Each structure stands twice: as C-alpha cells, then as structure tokens.
Chain A
Amino acid sequence: MATATGVYHTTYGKDLALRHTRAEYVRLALLAGLAIWLPFNLSPYWLGWTNLILMATIAAVGLNILTGYTGLVSLATAGFLGVGAYTAANLRTFFHWPMIPAVLVASGMAALIGAFFGLPALRLKGLYLAISTFAAQEILSERFRSWKRLTRGHGTITNNPPKFAGHSFTSKFEWYWLLLVITGLVVWGSINLFRTGLGRSFVAIRDQDIAAEVMGVPVGRYKVIAFSLACGLAGFSGALQSFYPDTLTVTWESYEIDRSFLFVAMIIIGGLGSVSGAVYGAAFLTWLPNYINQFGARLQTSSFKFLIQRLSAIQLGVFGLVLVLFLLVEPRGLARLWQRAKDYFRLWPFRY
C-alpha cells in the first residue's frame, strides 16, 4: 500500500487517471465510510454545522473554478448566493413551485446575471475585474436591501420547507443525505471538469491568456462561461440554503460584501486551484466563527469576561489575521500543507 515513488504511466489513459495507487483508493473508501458513519454519530448541533459546510462547499468549489483555475477574481459570491436564495424563495412562497424546479431556475438566474457582470472580463483582467465585481456586489446588496417587490413588502421572505410525496423534509438527518449527494456530485463534476477540453481551456487562460488565444481557445467566451458557472453554483448553493430548515428566512444581511470576502478567503486558505482545497477552506471558515463563539461561551465563567462583549470584534480580527498569515506564510493553503506532509513521509529520512 505504498504511495507512488515515481511516474510509471505507459498509456494516456493511465496518465489521466485521478487515482494511481491503491492507497488513494483506500483513502477514498475511508472518506466514503466516514461520510456514512458521521450522521449516525454526530449530535444534531454538529450535524447542522456539517450541513452548512456542505452547502458552503458548493459555492466555494464554484468560486475556485473561476479564481483558482481560470484566474479571474470575483468579490461578488455573496451577491449571487442572494440571487439564488431570493429567486428560489420567491418561486416557492409566492408561486408555489416545488423545490427542484425552483432551485434549478434560481441557479440559472444567478448564472445569467453572473454572465452579465462578467462582461467586463471580456476586455479586462486582474485589478479592474476585481473592482467590477466589487461594484456588482454593492449593486446586488443594495437591491436586496431596498427592492420592496422582491419580498412583497415584508423585508424578508420565509421559505416553505420542501415536500416530497406529502412528507415535509425538515430534519437535519435527511438533509445531510441530500446535501451529501449533491455536494458529492458537484465536487466529482468539478474534479472531472479539468480532464475535459473546457476545463483545460480554463487553466490555459489562467496560465497565459494570449498563448491560449493563439492555441485557439476563444478566451472571451470561456471567461464568461467560467463566470456564469461560478455564479450559477453560488446561486445553487444560495437556493439550497433558502430551503434548509435552519436558514429558511432570506434576509439581506446574509448577502453583504463580508460574506463574499469570506468565500474568497475560503479558497485561499484552502488552496487556490485545488478542488479539495475549496472543501477544506469551506469547512475551516464555516467552523471558525462558531469555534470563536463557543470559546466566548466558555469565558463566561472565567476572569476574561470583558472579552465577551468584544466577541464580534475578535471574530473580525481573527478572520483578518488568519487570512493575512496564510497569504504570507502558505499562499497555497491547506491543500498544500497536506501535500507537504505527504512529501515529508515519502522522502523520509531525506529532506528532498
């Protein structure tokens, strides 16, 4: 059960394979076993967090396709989560659509609006694009805040939980399985995306856009496709969140710019250009604020009580520091740390 000692592929098929050694299959089996074991052994509280992580993963993977693989920056993920959530909740509560078409239409809506805001990407790169998506985020959050018709004057929408065959789908346990399947499909799909022509074109655009154009990749069109793919996945995640029992109420506060920053931080801390990195990052940053809250609750009885009033400040500060430290110390994130740990054991007792 050794790890690979070198590259001994003799066919292209083998070269393209995602898993090369038996150890990697064992790891996959262990992961699947863990996924099945978890819901039976977690308290409902932790199961709820697991579900939130699974939903965040969908948007983070989408953003990583855009940022990590295509090299385009988006600071508007929260805005597109909101587009998905508002569209789905509107269709469900005011037009009484069933869940599945509502979620699909909501994702399509987010993808469409995303393509529109991606249009500056046709001509610009880097900094200017970041500013353009920043503006998109500001415009979208303003609309969520003050467009009365969006919520029919209530300010918020409370979605109805989905029903299948007369059974209301509201327990965290049931949702876990649903989300596990969906997130699994998204992760599987995006890992495989980079074995197709489309995915390879994305990587080519990231590495050298002019060279990609010369090789016959329609750069402009593919950039917009990457944009709408990422925004569509964000919308998908948002739509699912609006059906999830803990986050049924759609309010504008959840879709502000800081949440967009959170998603970018997820893929940076997890590892840019790595699908598994997006998963690690989503897990870490969904859990971190929760951990700080719990830490605060423990302080209640200690002599550090004065810190409790400053908990939100501490959350902000820790988040910012973690982000800066990761960028300075390990810019390729948690995925790279894992890789380095593996290399250490593979090469032991030598350093390289």
Chain B
Amino acid sequence: MKEFTELTVNGLANGAILAITALGFVLIYKATEVINFAQGQFLIVGMFMVYTAENTWGLPWPLAVAVGILTGVVLGVAVERLILRRMIGEATLSVIMVTIGLATALAGLALGVWGAEGKQGPNFIPSGNVKLFGSGEDAVFVSANRLWAVAIATVVLIAVGLFFQKSRHGIAMRAVADDQQAAMVQGINVNRIFAMAWALAGAAGAIGGVLLASIVGSYGIELQGFAILVFPVVILGGLDSVIGTVVGGVIVGLLVEYSKRYLGVSASVLIPFGALVLILLVKPYGLFGQVRIERV
C-alpha cells in the first residue's frame, strides 16, 4: 500500500508535467497542424535559462523562472517567424523534418552552451517528505516536491483552460483551429495566432522543464528524453484535444511508474509505445480527438 501510494504520487507528478509538455505540442498542432518534434528541446532550453538566470546572473528564483518562460516565448515566436511560416503548404514530411532539424540544432546548442553534466540548479519547490496519512509504522510519506509539481501543473492547466474559454485571444485560437478561413473572415489575424501558439508552447515547455528539473533534482540535458513520452500521451488523448493531454498525461504517467516497478524497466517503454501503435490501429483519433482523419 505504502509503495503503491508512492508510485501513484510519482506517476501523477510525471503525468502532470507530461500534460504541460503535451499541451504545448497540442496547441501547435491545433493551430498550425505541425507536429513539433522539438518540444523536448523547448523543455531543456527554458530550463537551462532558469539555471543561468539564477546561478550566473544571481536573480531570485521568481525572476529566474520568468526569464525561463520569456526565453520559451521568444524561442517559440522566433521559430515560427523564421522557419515554420516559410514551410506553410509544404509536404508533411518536410514539416516534420524541419522540426527534427530544429530539435537537433537546439540540442547541439544546449550541449555546447551548458555541457553534458547535470547541474544543481535553483530548487524553489520545498523538498522533504510529507506525511500523507496513517501514523507510526504505517505512516505513508511522499516527497513534497512531487505534490507541489502536481499542484503547480494543475494551476497552469486550469489557467490555460480559462484562457481558452474566457480570453479573446483564446477564443480566437480556437476559432483558427476550427476553420482558418472562417476565422480570417471574422477579422482574426491568423499569423498572430500561429505565433501565439508557438509562444505558448515555448512557455509551456519552460514551465514543464523547470518542474521536471526540480523533481529530478538536477538540471541536465538528458531530460529532453522525457518529452518522447509526449507521443503516447497525445495519441491516447487525441492530437487536437486539450483535455486529452491531461487525461493522457495522467494515464501515461501512472502507467510508466507502475510498469517500471511491477514489470521492469523494459515494460515501461514497451507498454506506452506498444499501446500507441495499437491505438493508431484501432482508434487513431484517440479518446478526445475530433474524428476527422482522412483514411485510405
């Protein structure tokens, strides 16, 4: 029971971070129909900027996090302006490969600037253990930073949900995702919406990266590999569904933790990706995606 609770909390924490990362991915796909293979690199670039802002420039942590998010936004907008806007109308493969090239270039940049070793960075989330329930011998402790990660991620996701429901820009983004031409006719600047989607994805990447680094305990380049799990998440939840990222993220996060413990490390890779292939075979639009896949 004790172990199970621990696994559940870890899984929820990973799932929450996965949901934020996948959110960036889905925002881009919804607005621009681009599959962004560089989401993992958005994660580490934002995260490393927080590290630099805190360690090298000596900023307090709230400012450092703001610097990281700002970097994510600037990076996202730059990528959209300089690269993806020029790829509009190109074949799927070219668009995918441009994001892969971008991912490689960003990984090279991060490796060159920050090096390969993990670093001790700002750790603003309180660590230590929290007693969840029980007392004496049976008390169940979980690490506090995971609970905090879940809480912060929930706040971010709710904020994004409200943004889509209430804000002018959020509604405009939904309109563009629904039908670009109709949105244009309403006077929505579609180019600006594209840039906004990339900016939000960059910001989401930075937040996900900082949360991930603080629960792992080190700021390292290998954390970009975490974003690979975004693919099972978005396929499970549906490529164009925001709510799907939350549900998919939590399911995949829990699945990975449980299978790692009970079935071995291999299973924690094989199960999510095997499930991905199966879902694509049976129900390719996922749990919450729109059923409008062109079949042949």
Contact = CB atoms under 8 A, between A and B. Distances in A.
B96 A323 contact: no
A305 interface: no
Given A135-B231, A320-B103, A324-B105, A331 B270 contact: no
B112 interface: yes
Interface string B112-128: 10000000000000000
A318 B101 CA distance: 10
Contact of B280 (A67, A132, A139, A318): A132
A203 B101 CA distance: 26
A136 interface: yes
Interface in A313-334: 313-324, 327-328, 331
Contact of A138 (B87, B93, B265, B269): B269
Contact of B93 (A67, A119, A128, A142): A67
B98 A319 contact: no
Nearest to A315: B108
A316 B105 contact: yes
A148 to B, nearest CB: 10
A324 B92 contact: no
A264 interface: yes
Contacts of B104: 258, 261, 316-317, 319-320, 323
Contacts of B280: 120, 124, 128, 131-132
Given A120-B281, A126-B92, A320 B107 contact: yes
Given A213-B296, A317-B109, A139 B274 contact: yes
Contacts of B138: none
A32 B104 CA distance: 37
A261 B37 CA distance: 11
A139 B269 contact: yes
Given A314-B108, A317-B108, A128 B90 contact: no
A77 B122 CA distance: 40
A123 B296 contact: yes
A146 B277 CA distance: 20
A127 B293 CA distance: 10
Contacts of A310: 111-112
Nearest to A73: B93
Contacts, number: 140
Contacts of B111: 310, 312-313, 316
Chain B residues touching A, range? 35 or more
A162 interface: no
B273 A128 contact: no
A204 interface: no
Interface string B247-276: 000000000000000000110011001101
Contacts of A323: 97-98, 100-101, 104
Given A213-B296, A327-B94, A131 B108 contact: no
A210 interface: yes
A176 interface: no
Contacts of A147: 266
B92 A127 contact: yes
Contacts of A328: 83, 86-87, 98
B106 A320 contact: yes
B292 interface: no
Contacts of B112: 310, 313-314, 317
A187 interface: no
A328 B83 CA distance: 7
B284 interface: yes
Interface in B75-94: 83, 86-87, 90, 92-94
Interface in A41-77: 67, 73
B35 interface: yes
A195 interface: no
B102 to A, nearest CB: 6
Interface centre among A135, A147, A272, by most chain B C-beta atoms within 10 angstroms, is A135
Contacts of A130: 35, 92-93, 96
A153 to B, nearest CB: 15
Contacts of A135: 231-232, 273-274, 276-277
Contacts of B274: 135, 139
A136 B284 CA distance: 16
A22 interface: no
Nearest to A206: B91
Contacts of A146: 265-266
A328 B95 CA distance: 10
A220 B296 contact: yes
A268 interface: yes
A331 B90 contact: yes
A310 to B, nearest CB: 5
Interface of A: 67, 73, 117, 119-120, 123-128, 130-132, 134-136, 138-139, 142-143, 146-147, 209-210, 213, 219-220, 258, 261, 264-265, 268, 272, 310, 312-324, 327-328, 331
11 contacts: A117-B277, A123-B284, A127-B239, A128-B293, A135-B274, A258-B104, A261-B104, A272-B93, A313-B109, A313-B111, A324-B83
